[in-house]
């Protein structure tokens, strides 16, 4: 009888500690959940590093004849993250390359990221000369999201195009600088 009483007290203590932990969570969890709900079901960009250093990978070539030149303004028509669609962007760089959407398992564990847009050919470890095709596996040499760098990724789509590095403001007022990457067809004139 004594053992059952101890077991009951331990069970109750564990249950209460679980409740306290759940009650102690801040609004960040709810906000991240809400933000992720706004994205496609297959995408989780809560760990996306929206701002960057402005450094570009070795070998990346400036676009010869981009639709938008450095300093131009354009409107972003796609939402890689909540608050991005419809934002006015300032073009920081324009480059001709092959762009890929990828799916990968983050290096730190967690759920598979599907259809991440975008990495470029120059962000693939030991990239071959020719473009990769959907279904090919590559190793990512970019940390756009936490756990992306070094991950083995599957190419979901591939397109030769002009990509842009842009500065913009999210609809919540957060300023994003040197964001990599937005494709030419994701931008429109104001």
DSSP-assigned letter for residue 95: E
Claim: this prediction has a pTM higher than 0.85:
no
- Interval 50-98: pLDDT, tens: 667 778 999 999 999 999 999 999 999 998 888 899 999 999 999 999 9
Pairing of strands 113-120, 61-62: unpaired
Strand partners, 93: 165
What pLDDT does residue 82 have? 87
What pLDDT does residue 27 have? 39
How far apart (Å, rounded) are the C-alpha atoms in residues 144 and 55? Answer: 13
Q: What's the CATH class of domain 61-188?
A: mainly beta
How far apart (Å, rounded) are the C-alpha atoms in residues 75 and 87? Answer: 6
What pLDDT does residue 80 have? 83
- Interval 44-57: pLDDT, tens: 444 455 667 778 99
Annotated domain spans of the chain? 2-38, 61-188
- Nearest Cα to 68, choosing from 157, 158, 168? 168
User: Virtual CA dihedral for 50, 53, 54, 55, nearest 10 degrees?
Assistant: -120
Preceding peptide of 77 cis, ω within 30°: no
Q: Which residues of the chain have pLDDT under 70?
A: 1-51
List phi, psi (to 5°) of 6. Answer: -65, -40
- 3-class SS of residue 83: coil
DSSP-assigned letter for residue 161: E
Q: How many CB atoms lie within 10 A of CB 168?
A: 22
Q: Which residues, at least 6 apart from 35, have a Cβ–Cβ distance to it below 8 Å?
A: 46, 81, 82
Distances (CA, A) of 3 to 13, 14, 16, 67, 153: 15, 17, 20, 76, 52
Residues 168 and 84: beta-carbon distance below 8 Å: yes
């Amino acid at each position: 009888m004594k053992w059952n009483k101890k077991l009951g007290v331990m069970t109750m203590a564990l249950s209460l500690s679980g409740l306290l932990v759940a009650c102690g969570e801040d609004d960040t969890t709810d906000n991240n959940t809400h933000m992720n709900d706004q994205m496609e079901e297959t995408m989780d960009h809560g760990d996306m590093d929206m701002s960057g250093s402005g450094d570009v990978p070795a070998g990346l070539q400036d676009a010869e004849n981009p639709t938008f030149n450095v300093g131009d303004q354009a409107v972003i028509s796609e939402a890689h993250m909540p608050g991005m669609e419809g934002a006015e962007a300032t073009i920081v760089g324009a480059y001709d390359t092959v762009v890929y959407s990828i799916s990968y398992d983050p290096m730190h564990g967690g759920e598979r990221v599907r259809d991440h847009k975008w990495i470029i050919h120059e962000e693939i470890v030991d990239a071959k000369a020719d473009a990769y095709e959907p279904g090919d596996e590559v190793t990512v040499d970019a940390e756009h999201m936490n756990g992306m760098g070094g991950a083995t990724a599957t190419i979901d789509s591939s397109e030769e195009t002009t990509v842009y590095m842009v500065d913009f403001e999210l609809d919540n007022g957060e300023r994003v600088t040197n964001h990599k990457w937005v494709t030419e067809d994701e931008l429109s004139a104001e």
